[in-house]
Structure 1
Amino acid sequence: MHLLIVGATGTLGRQVARRALDEGHSVRCLVRSYKKAAFLKEWGAELVQGNLCRPESLPPALVGIDAVIDAATSRPTDSLSIKEVDWQGQVSLIQAVKAAGIQRLIFFSILNAEQYPHVPLMEIKHCTELFLAESGLDYTILRCCGFLQGLIGQYAIPILERQAVWVMGETEPIAYMDTQDIAKFAIRALSVPATLRQTFPLVGTRAWNPYEIIRLCERLSGREAKITRMPLNLLRTVRRTARWFQWGWNLADRLAFAEVIASGKPLNAPMEEVYTTFGLDPAATTTLETYLQDYFSRILQKLKELDYEKTGRKTASARKAQ
């Protein structure tokens, strides 16, 4: 199958591209920068320059495509706003896909998006879901809630470097999932008719709160975490302040997501029927424990090797000095 993947340089998109290539699909990636997407070309993907916020760049990228997988979303550091990328850009893509005569589109959304109309990203994701449902396309919506990959920068690295781990006092448990496992569902959806015009949650094996993750990281790393608690009211103040500056609008909208993880509702969902529909084995899903254990094992081994090399160089220098 000839696939166009949008957002392929992102944390999730790159895993979707990798999985699609591994399963023998022909992959084209819509990218803003050839330089930043060079690794995709090395993997075997075709690169075409374009931008969701430039609708005229979309039709050429869709020529000869059988299905589109949309993993694009704005980033806090982007110059473009959430509204420009996650709403206007997505609408342009859906319209371009339909105009090109392509019927199949897979879209990544966020779990429980409809429950938070006051949170910009959630409201926009939900509106995009509704727009896609009314488009007439054979869509599949996959609703994620958190990536295991994000835990490295949030917890693992600060603990290893003896830096502060920031935790909101009222954070609810989240069922994080490995992006490689999410990619499996996305590619499998292409060949499972039961996924047409359906919406599915995609969550990990269990929901974890921050303190459980911190304790696990402490045990695996052998180091004690320095926890700094941030009251939700302080985060709201930062958000309001950021709204005063144009450069802070995107950041402020992202900070609003804190309202979701402090809502009193765990980000989790039952997955039994999802695994059955997709024909995937739940036992093959990466657990948070396994993911972090693998990370710390590799990092600690690397640190030991570096320390050994450093000690060896010192010993050699001492011998030369004698």
Structure 2
Amino acid sequence: MTDRPTTVLIIGATGSIGRHAVAEALKQGYAVRALVRDRARAARDLPDGVDIVIGDLTRPETLDAAVEGFDAVVFTHGSTTNERDVRDNDYTGVANVLRALGGRRVRIALMTAIGTTRPGVAYAQWKLRSERLIRASGNPYTIVRPGWFDYNQPDQRKITVLQGDKRQAGTPADGVIARDQIARVLIDSLHTDAANHKTLELIADHGPEQEDLTTDFDSLTPDPSGSLDGAEDTVHLPVTNEPEKFRQDLAAISAANHT
């Protein structure tokens, strides 16, 4: 990564993490664009100064204009733990934005979830596939897998990063983190060289929040060059056995990376 991005597109800007990401990006001096389906709702929920663009992640024909004019994108959208919802919204949204970019380089921060690599969990596998597309895209990126939102105690604000996705109970025992801190890590990653090509699990420990996360990002192992999976992850999803939808998206996005 070289120059700091200046304009960030927030995907899922009116959601529970997206609104925090918008506020954090504005606080850090970015020009902020919000991709939304409902202009009236966005005008009501988002602060002044946000550039609202209309588009639907599930309809690629609505995204061409929306993906122009920014140099960073933060994915905070998310649906349920229903496999079809995650496939048709969470995963498809990432695939459609990357396809619309057509190989144009932007800085990416993607939010998925702790436990994404749990074997046999159908909805988690679609989140994992969205991570794989990001890695294959050739863009600089950070993938953030937060623990359970807002289960932290008031004194539990020390941001802690992990790797290997080893906490897979599927309960708050896996780790907890406040929504505003998730947003901060996503936005901080955009301008931190040490965060580039890193995949991390994000939780909070007891103690105060750090002023600077550079050392925390620097402690992480970069994802292996050319790999579809995160450093230290254990994944058993051979591409040859993956659904046709994913294989087609992967081929298109990988091809755009090499044009």
Equivalent residue of 1:184, what SS? helix
Name 2:193's counterpart in structure 1.
193
Equivalent residue of 1:173, what SS? helix
- Alignment partners' CA distance in 2, 1:5 and 1:73: 13
Q: Deviations over 1:210-238 (max 9, x none)?
A: xxxxxxxxxxxxxxxxxxxxxxxxxxxxx
Which of 120, 123, 127 is matched with 1:121 structurally? 123
- Alignment partners' CA distance in 2, 1:56 and 1:110: 28
| Most deviating of 20-29 and 81-90 | 81-90
- Alignment partners' CA distance in 2, 1:14 and 1:127: 25
Amino acid paired to 2:31: S
Q: Is the contact between residue 86 and residue 127 of structure 2 (CA under 8 Å) also seen in structure 1?
A: no
Name 1:104's counterpart in structure 2.
107
- Displacement of 1:121: 2.2
Name 1:31's counterpart in structure 2.
36
- RCO (CA 8 Å, sep 6+): is it higher in 1 or 2? 2
Are residues 1:148 and 2:150 paired?
Answer: yes
- Alignment partners' CA distance in 1, 2:48 and 2:182: 19
Name 1:178's counterpart in structure 2.
178
- Displacement of 1:21: 0.8
Equivalent residue of 2:47, what SS? helix
Q: How many residues align?
A: 191
Q: Deviations over 1:79-111 (max 9, x none)?
A: x822111222221112223x1613211100111
Aligned pair in 2 of structure 1 residues 172, 50: CA closer, same or farther (>3 Å)? Answer: closer
Structure 1 spans left out of the alignment, 5+ residues = 152-169, 207-270, 280-322
What is the RMSD of the two structures over their aligned residues, measured on CA atoms? 2.7
Name 1:84's counterpart in structure 2.
88
- Alignment partners' CA distance in 1, 2:67 and 2:76: 16
Name 2:216's counterpart in structure 1.
277
Q: Deviations over 1:8-48 (max 9, x none)?
A: 11111110001101121100000011122123543321111
Are residues 1:7 and 2:9 paired?
Answer: no
Structure 2 spans left out of the alignment, 5+ residues = 1-5, 154-169, 219-259
Matches within 5 A, 1:248-259: none
- Alignment partners' CA distance in 2, 1:147 and 1:53: 25
Q: TM-score when scaled to structure 1?
A: 0.54
Q: Is the contact between residue 63 and residue 100 of structure 1 (CA under 8 Å) also seen in structure 2?
A: no
Name 2:253's counterpart in structure 1.
none
- Alignment partners' CA distance in 2, 1:65 and 1:37: 19
Which of 45, 50, 54 is matched with 2:55 structurally? 50
Aligned pair in 2 of structure 1 residues 68, 94: CA closer, same or farther (>3 Å)? Answer: same
The structure richer in helix per residue is 1
| Most deviating of 128-137 and 41-50 | 41-50
Q: Is the contact between residue 41 and residue 47 of structure 1 (CA under 8 Å) also seen in structure 2?
A: no
Q: Is the contact between residue 185 and residue 278 of structure 1 (CA under 8 Å) also seen in structure 2?
A: no
Amino acid paired to 1:42: P
Q: Is the contact between residue 19 and residue 46 of structure 2 (CA under 8 Å) also seen in structure 1?
A: no
- Moved beyond 6 Å, runs of 4+: none
- Alignment partners' CA distance in 2, 1:100 and 1:129: 17
Amino acid paired to 2:186: A
Aligned pair in 2 of structure 1 residues 184, 41: CA closer, same or farther (>3 Å)? Answer: closer
Q: Deviations over 1:44-101 (max 9, x none)?
A: 2111111110111112112110110011112479xx822111222221112223x161
Matches within 5 A, 1:127-138: 127-138=129-140
Q: TM-score when scaled to structure 2?
A: 0.66
- Alignment partners' CA distance in 2, 1:36 and 1:74: 18
